[in-house]
Amino acid sequence: QVQLVESGGRLVQAGGSLRLSCAASGRTFSVYAMAWFRQAPGKEREFVAAISWSVSNTYYADSVKGRFTISREHANNTVYLQMNSLEPEDTAVYYCATPDETGVMCGVYYSDAANMDYWGKGTLVTVSS
């Protein structure tokens, strides 16, 4: 079975940095895109970043562009989300997700949570003022 396990979430101060990790297992992930979503209290789940099967194709939400960086290590099936210049508005449960689709898609496809078929349980990131 496909399993995604996030880690790295914790309490940090505004302006600080944090790196989240998502360990994947259950299939060969080198040909599947990986994405990060987040959900703040009282808010809908929103797209954060995604990376396609090609490491040169990355996509970011406007709210995090320039501050967050998504990357992956194919050797250990791990995707990372490096978060810099964190703001209180970044406080949320961050989820790792992947679609059951290997085709090359546009950024709109990866930003739609409905296109994701597997999800991790999430890791909480709290940014204090």
Separation CA 53–CA 74 (nearest Å): 9
Q: Is there a contact between 105 and 46 (Cβ–Cβ < 8 Å)?
A: no
pLDDT in the model for residue 102 = 78
Q: In what order do the strands lie in the sheet with 78-83?
A: 3-7, 18-25, 78-83, 68-73
State pLDDT tens for residues 16-31.
999 999 999 998 777 8
State pLDDT tens for residues 36-84.
999 999 999 999 999 987 666 899 999 999 999 999 987 888 999 999 9
State pLDDT tens for residues 78-110.
999 999 999 999 999 999 999 998 776 778 899
Residue in this structure with the two tokens 């990060």, named with its chain if needed: 36
State pLDDT tens for residues 115-129.
999 999 999 999 999
**Number of Cβ within a 10 Å radius of residue 27:** 15
In sequence order, what are the beta bridge partners of 38? Answer: 46, 94
> What is the full DSSP assignment across 3-50?
EEEEE---EEETT--EEEEEEEESS-GGGS-EEEEEE-TTS--EEEEE
Name which residue leads in pLDDT, 1 or 36: 36
